[in-house]
Structure 1
Amino acid sequence: MQQIPKTMYAVLLTGHGGIDKLVYRTDVEVPVPKPGEVLISVKGAGINNTDINTRIGWYSKSVTSDTNQGGTDGLEDAKKDEVAGQEILLNFH
């Protein structure tokens, strides 16, 4: 079984604006899953127009909470078992 690292690489959005609002870090703490949650190792992620529109603040300021829309369209079958465990059901919010 592979050891889960304490930190990870991440690109963080620090506010609305240009590409200068994206910060690459190598010291972001790996989250610890709570009961009923799982930790998924992401090896690569794409950026699309929704990500860019979010960064530039294009969406309405009146939307202040989750829209309960969207889904797992970006979740591809590029997966690899890192840890053996119980069978679980993934519930994407």
Structure 2
Amino acid sequence: MPTVHYIFGDDTVHSVDAVEGDTLMHSAVRNGIPGIEGECGGEMSCATCHVYIEGEWRKRIQAPSDDENDLLEMVDELRPVSRLACQIKINASLDGVQVRIP
């Protein structure tokens, strides 16, 4: 089971065991991670699962689609490392991934 590390603004970390095939958003919601709401249920229509994927982890994740990039343009704290957690599926290669919550 891959482990996901959700990092908050004060640098505290909440680590969870995630299910392969779930998205980072579903894992966060299921585990009560504050700051990732997923209001649209993962339908990529609300951006309430906006996160930052930094460093080497970005290379292990498929690039965002044009639709994801369009929706990301609406978030307040957009960075080059911004992603929608609903679009990132968890797999073994993401074991230990660090997800920063804006």
- TM class by shorter-chain length? under 0.3
Richer in strand (by share): 2
Larger relative contact order, structure 1 or 2 (CA cutoff 8 Å, min sep 6): 2
* TM-score between the two structures when normalised by the length of structure 2: 0.22
Which structure has the bigger radius of gyration? 1
* TM-score between the two structures when normalised by the length of structure 1: 0.23
Richer in helix (by share): 2
